[in-house]
Amino acid sequence: MTRHYILRVPRAYDATRRLPLVVLLHGWTGSAQTFEAYSRMAEKGEKEGFILVTPDGLGQPQGWNVGFLDLSGKHADDVGFVGHVIDQVETEVGVDPDRVYVAGFSNGAMLAHLAGARLSDRIAAIGAVAGTVGLPNADGQKAIPAPASPVSAMLIHGKKDSMVAYDKSASALLAGIGAEESAQWWAGQDGCAKTPCQTMSANGNVATETFSGGRLGAEVILVSIANGVHAWPGGLTRPGHESTPDVDAADLLWQFFKSHPKRR
């Protein structure tokens, strides 16, 4: 099977220095080309000096197999694909093995969760925008497997998301495990404090819950946006930036990644 990805290396790249690597995963019906621009992670990588890899999913429309949900329709091992992409990039440019990160939106956020769990020995932190760690079922829930090593995680989710439900009370196309439960799942796996420290934006629109004290410095942060919909906050569209105030996902995720390298 032939797979594709876009590799962007900062213009100021110096082969004597190892740089952070961010793997960016588009949502269902998306593509690598549109998502690296829409998310503004390509311009962020150029400005901040990290390598960005944006793969394409499979199917028509394109999606990902995240174990509990296959929106590619191809039953491919997409976590294995992410691992192969990291392997390939490491042969082409200098990658810091302690600063490998995965971020995604929607179906891509679900794959970021799964990749973080299954590749926990390689991935320092994940960023999941409008995703979930699994689906409720008759046995309680069908979720991603437990990571072998702690992985820091930042979750960003709008409470008005009509595609991937923020919580059980929300009306959405996919009623997955809610954002708070997903954050608590990661906090439990990482050994973080059970009770988060919460802060609120001045206008009350954005709540940030931080689960700290995890093993090897792991930390989990949930950013909840009261007026947030199913979108990448701060994303770039034809008319301009997304209108959701107070939140820029590209900025938040990079600041989080930058402060959470892999500790072994």
Residue 138 has pLDDT above 90, yes or no: no
pLDDT, one tens digit per residue, over 64-90 is: 999 999 999 999 999 999 999 999 999
Residue tagged 């990290």 (tokens): 50
Give the pLDDT confidence score for residue 131 in this predicted structure: 98
Name the pLDDT band for 245 (thresholds 50, 70, 90).
low
pLDDT, one tens digit per residue, over 32-49 is: 999 999 999 999 999 999
Q: Over range 58-65, report the average pLDDT.
A: 98
Rounded Cα distance, 3 and 6, in Å: 11
More confident residue, 236 or 245: 236
The answer to whether residues 117 and 156 touch, using CB atoms and an 8 Å cutoff, is no
Strands (E), the chain: 5-8, 19-25, 51-55, 95-105, 125-129, 134-135, 142-143, 152-158, 197-200, 206-211, 220-225, 236-237, 240-241
Q: Over range 214-235, report the average pLDDT.
A: 95
- 45: enclosing H helix or E strand: helix 41-48
Residue 178 has pLDDT above 60, yes or no: yes
Counting Cα atoms < 13 Å in the Cβ hemisphere of 223 gives 21
Using CB atoms within 10 A of its CB, is residue 14 exposed (0-12), middle (13-18) or buried (19+)?
exposed
Give the pLDDT confidence score for residue 246 in this predicted structure: 82
Residue 243 has pLDDT above 80, yes or no: no
Name the pLDDT band for 244 (thresholds 50, 70, 90).
low
- Show the tokens assigned to 72: 């590619």
Name the pLDDT band for 7 (thresholds 50, 70, 90).
very high
pLDDT, one tens digit per residue, over 10-32 is: 999 999 999 999 999 999 999 99
Q: Which residue in 34, 73, 80, 25 sits closest to 53, CA to CA?
A: 25
Q: In percent, how much of the chain has pLDDT > 70?
A: 95
Count Cβ neighbours within 10 Å for each residue of 166-188 and write b for 16 or more, e otherwise: bbeebebebebbbbbbbbbbbbe
The rounded mean pLDDT for the chain is 94
Give the pLDDT confidence score for residue 141 in this predicted structure: 66
Counting Cα atoms < 13 Å in the Cβ hemisphere of 44 gives 25
Residue 139 has pLDDT above 70, yes or no: no
Q: Which CATH architecture has domain 5-258?
A: 3-Layer(aba) Sandwich (3.40)
225-228 long-range Cβ contacts below 8 angstroms, 24+ apart: 225/156, 225/157, 225/158, 225/159, 226/159, 226/160, 227/158, 227/159, 227/160, 228/157, 228/158, 228/159, 228/160, 228/161
